[in-house]
Structure 1
Amino acid sequence: MNMMWGLNIIAVKMAVTEISPLTAGFLRQALVLLVCGTWLRIVPGRMVALTALGILVGGLFYVAINLSLAVADNVGALAIAGQLGVPFSMILAIIVFKERIRLPRMAGIALSFAGVVLLVFDPAAAREVPGLALTALASFFWAVGSIIQRYLIGVPVLTIYAWIGLWGSIVMGLLAWQVEPQAMHAIPALPLGALGWVAFSAIGSTVIGQGSMSYLLQRHPISLVTPLTLAAPVISVFAASYYFGTPLTALMLTGGGIAMLGVAIVTIRTARVGREHGDSA
C-alpha cells in the first residue's frame, strides 16, 4: 500500500506531462469507474454525501493536484506539502464535530505547517510556490472529503469509489473538453506508455492502495494501521528525487522532517485517542 501511494507521484507527474493535467485526470477517474462500476448503486440516505464526495475528491482534488504537478519541477517538495491533509482534517474535525484536542496534537498541527512553510525559504523549492499552493489546496479538498466519509460508514469501499469515479469522470471530462480539447481528441492515439502511467495511478494507487487500507482497517485497530501509512510520503520524496534527478537539500530535508514529525504526532495521537475510546474499524 505504501509503495503504491509513494510511487504514485511519479506516475501522476509523467501522466500530466505526456498527456495533459485535466485529460490525464479524466482518464484516471474513468478507469476507476470502469474497475469499480459493478459496485455503483443507489445508497438510500447517503446519496448527498456520495455526490459531494465524488465531486470534491474525484473532481476538484484532482484538478488541483494534477495542475500542481504540471507546473512543478521538484515534485518531492509537493510530496511534503501533500501531508497538510492530516492537519487540515484535524482542524475541520474540531470545527465540524467539536472534537477536543490537547497540546501534543496542537503542536503537531503547528509543526506540519511550519515544515511546509520552511520549504519556501529553500532556493531549490522556492520556485515551486505555485505548485505548493495548489498542493495545499488539494490537501484541503482531501481533508473535507475525509470529513464527508465519516457520514459513509457502512457503505462498501468499492461503491464509494465507483461514485468517486463517476463524478470525477464527469467533472474532469467537462473541464478537459473546455480547456484541453486537443488532448481529449488525441486520447485514441495515446501511446501505451502514457496510458500505463494513468493505469498505475487508477489501479495501483486508488483501487489497490485504498482497497488495502480498507482491508487492514477491517481487521486491525486504527491505532495500529494508521501510523504505518507514514512511510508513503517518505517513499514519494526519495523516489521522486531519484527518478527526476531533483535535489534534496538540507533545508528541504529539514522542512520535510519537521512536517512529517507534526503529521506523525497528529496521526499517532489521533489513533491512540480512537483506541482509548474503543474505536476500531
Structure 2
Amino acid sequence: MASHPSRLGPADIFVALVMNLLWGLNIIAIKMSVDQVPPTTAAFLRLSIVFLVCLPWLRIVPGRMRALLLLGLLTGCLFFLVINLSLMVATNVGVLAIAGQLGVPFSMLAAVIVLKEQIHVLRIAGVALSLAGVGILAFDPAVANEIPGVALTILSSIIWAGASLIQRSLKGVPVLTIYAWIGLVGMVGLSLSALLIEPAGIASIPDLPPAVFGWIAFSAIGSSVIGHGSMSWLLQRHPISQVMPLTLAAPVMSVAAASLFFGTPLTPIMILGGLIALSGVAIVTIRTAKVAKKERPPQVL
C-alpha cells in the first residue's frame, strides 16, 4: 500500500468534481429513464450495463462470496428498483434528493446497532439534524403530493444502510469486482422480476429510442462505475477523513440540477429543510471519517 499524500492535488480535486457531478446529475438520468421505461425494466437494463462493463473483473473471491451475493441482492436488485419506483411516482425530484441524504445517518445507526460501534454527542446531533431537515419537508404544501416518493426514498436509504454494513466486510476486494457481482445478481434478479410483472416492458426493449439507453447508460457507467471508481481512486491516495467530506457536494448538485432541468420550484421550506439535513449529514460524514481515519483504506482496482 502506497503512502498517502498529505494534500489534495489538482488531479484529486478534478476527480472529486467529476465524481460529484456524475452523482449529482444521476437523479436526472434516472427520472428521464423511468418516465419512458417501466421501473423494473429500467433497473434491469442499468444493472446489465454495469455487469457488461465490469465483466473483465468478475472472479470468485474465496471467503467473500456470501457477502458479495447478498450485497448484489440488496444493492443490485432492491436498492435500484426502489430508487426507480420513487422517481417514477415523483414530480419534484429535488425533494427526493434531500430525503435521500438519510442514507448516511441510517448507515451510521446500522453500524451502531449491528456492529456495536460507539456514537457520541456530535454524531447524535448530526443524525437529529438530518432527520429534522427531512421532517421539515412535510410542512411544505408543495411536497404533499410527493409523500409516496419520499417514503420510497427513505426505504431505499434503509436498504443502502444495510448494504453499507456488508460492504465494510469486503475490504480488500477490488471495487470493479464488487460491481461485477452487483451487476450480475441485479441483472438476473431484475430480469426475472421484469418478466413476471412487466412483460410488456421487456418486450419493448428493442424499440426503445437511443436517448433512453443513453440515460440508462449514464446511470450505469457514469454514476455506478466511474463515480464509485473515482471514490476508490481517491481512497487509494488519501485518508478516508480527507475523502469522505468531498462527497457532500453531490446532494447540492442533485437538488440544483433537478430544479434547473425539470423547472421544479425550490420553496423556502425545501431550502431550509435541505440545509438542515445537509448540515446533519456533514456532521455525521466528517465525524465518522475522523473516527475511521486510522483504518487502512480498502485495496481497490
Q: TM-score range by the shorter chain?
A: over 0.9
Alpha-carbon distance, 1:228 to partner: 0.8
Task: Provide the residue aligned with 2:219 in structure 1.
Answer: 201
What's the offset of the Cα at 1:278? 5.2
Partner of 1:46: 64
By how many angstroms is 1:139 displaced? 0.7
Q: CA deviation at 1:124?
A: 1.1
Shift of 1:126: 2.1
Q: Which amino acid aligns with 2:256?
A: F
Q: Runs of 4 or more off by more than 6 Å in structure 1?
A: none
**Residues 94-119 of structure 1: CA deviation (Å, up to 9, x unaligned):** 01111111101000001111111111
Name the counterpart of 1:161: 179
Give the aligned partner of residue 179 of structure 1: 197
Counterparts of 1:57 and 1:24 in 2: how far apart (Å)?
15
AA at the equivalent of 2:252 = V
Percent identical among aligned pairs is: 64
Q: Structure 1: which amino acid aligns with 2:229?
A: G
Partner of 2:93: 75
- 1:9 to 2:23 alignment: no
Matched, 1:147 2:165: yes
Matched residue SS, 2:59: coil
- The answer on whether the counterparts of 1:8 and 1:200 sit within 8 Å (CA) in structure 2 is yes
1:154 is paired with a residue of what secondary structure?
A: coil
RMSD: 0.9
Q: Residues 66-103 of structure 1: CA distance to partner in whole angstroms, max 9, x if unpaired?
A: 00000000000000111111011110110111111110
Cα distance in structure 2, aligned partners of 1:263 and 1:278: 21
The aligned counterpart of 2:15 is none
Structure 1 residues 150-203: Cα deviation after superposition (integer angstroms, max 9, x where no partner): 111111111100000001111211111111111100101111001000000000
1:224 corresponds to: 242
Pick from 268, 274, 278: which aligns with 1:250?
A: 268
User: What residue in structure 2 maps to residue 116 of structure 1?
Assistant: 134
The answer (yes or no) to whether the contact 1:22–1:175 under 8 Å persists in 2 is yes
- For the pair 1:259 / 2:277, whether they are aligned, the reply is yes
Q: Look up the SS of the partner of 2:237 in the other structure.
A: coil
**Residue type of the alignment partner of 2:176:** L
Q: Which amino acid aligns with 1:161?
A: Y
Q: 3-state DSSP class of the match of 1:44?
A: coil
Aligned residue number for residue 269 of structure 1: 287
Q: Which residue of structure 1 aligns with residue 78 of structure 2? A: 60
Alignment partner, residue 231 of structure 2: 213
Q: CA deviation at 1:220?
A: 0.6
By how many angstroms is 1:255 displaced?
Answer: 0.4
Partners in 2 of 1:76 and 1:58 — Cα distance?
24
1:274 and 1:280 in contact (8 A); partners too: no
Q: Distance in 2 between matches of 1:40 and 1:273?
A: 32
Aligned residue for 1:3, secondary structure, equals: helix
Alignment partner of 1:73: what SS?
A: coil
Aligned partner of 2:206 in structure 1 is 188
Q: Counterpart in 1 of 2:125?
A: 107
Deviations 1:2-45 (A, max 9, x none): 00000000000000001121111000000000000111111111
TM-score (normalizing by structure 2): 0.91
What code does the residue aligned with 2:177 have?
Answer: T
Moved more, 120-129 or 249-258: 120-129
The answer to whether the 8 A contact 1:5-1:209 is kept is yes
Structure 1: gaps (5+ residues): none
**Alignment coverage as a number of residue pairs:** 280
Whether the 8 Å contact between 1:37 and 1:162 is mirrored in structure 2 is yes
TM norm structure 1: 0.98
* Structure 2: gaps of 5 or more residues: 1-18
Aligned counterpart for 1:85 among listed residues 87, 103, 106 = 103
